[in-house]
């Protein structure tokens, strides 16, 4: 997955350079630098807590990303359920049917 993403980014950056889209290349570069710095901060925090094995750090990062994605999906699900419940409520002043 990571290799495919990297390949697509390199391909897109190459196309942007060929067509002289410097602003797009700069934006992509800034996104990559931002992600790299976030991963480096998490890596440093784990190193400070005594996790020195690279595979363990990668495993923990993967777990954190998975949990974050589950949380995002749950939040979306709750918003959808709440919006459905709100749409079923009668307008103010109208009695509810049982």
Q: How many CB atoms lie within 10 A of CB 75?
A: 10
* pLDDT value of residue 1: 44
Contact in structure between 13 and 25 (CB atoms under 8 Å): yes
Give the pLDDT band (50/70/90) at residue 96. Answer: low
User: What global pTM score does this model have?
Assistant: 0.49
Contact 42/54 with Cβ under 8 angstroms? no
The domain locations on the chain are 1-51, 53-88
Total Cβ atoms within 10 A of residue 28: 16
**Mean per-residue pLDDT, 57-76:** 88
């Amino acid at each position: 997955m990571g290799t495919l993403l990297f390949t697509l980014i390199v391909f897109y950056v190459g196309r942007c350079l060929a067509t002289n889209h410097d602003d797009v290349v700069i934006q992509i570069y800034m996104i990559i630098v931002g992600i790299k710095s976030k991963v480096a901060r998490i890596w440093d925090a784990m190193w400070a807590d005594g996790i020195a094995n690279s595979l363990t750090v990668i495993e923990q990062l993967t777990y954190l990303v998975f949990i974050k994605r589950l949380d995002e999906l749950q939040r979306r699900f709750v918003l959808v359920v709440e919006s459905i419940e709100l749409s079923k409520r009668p307008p103010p002043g109208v009695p509810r049917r049982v």
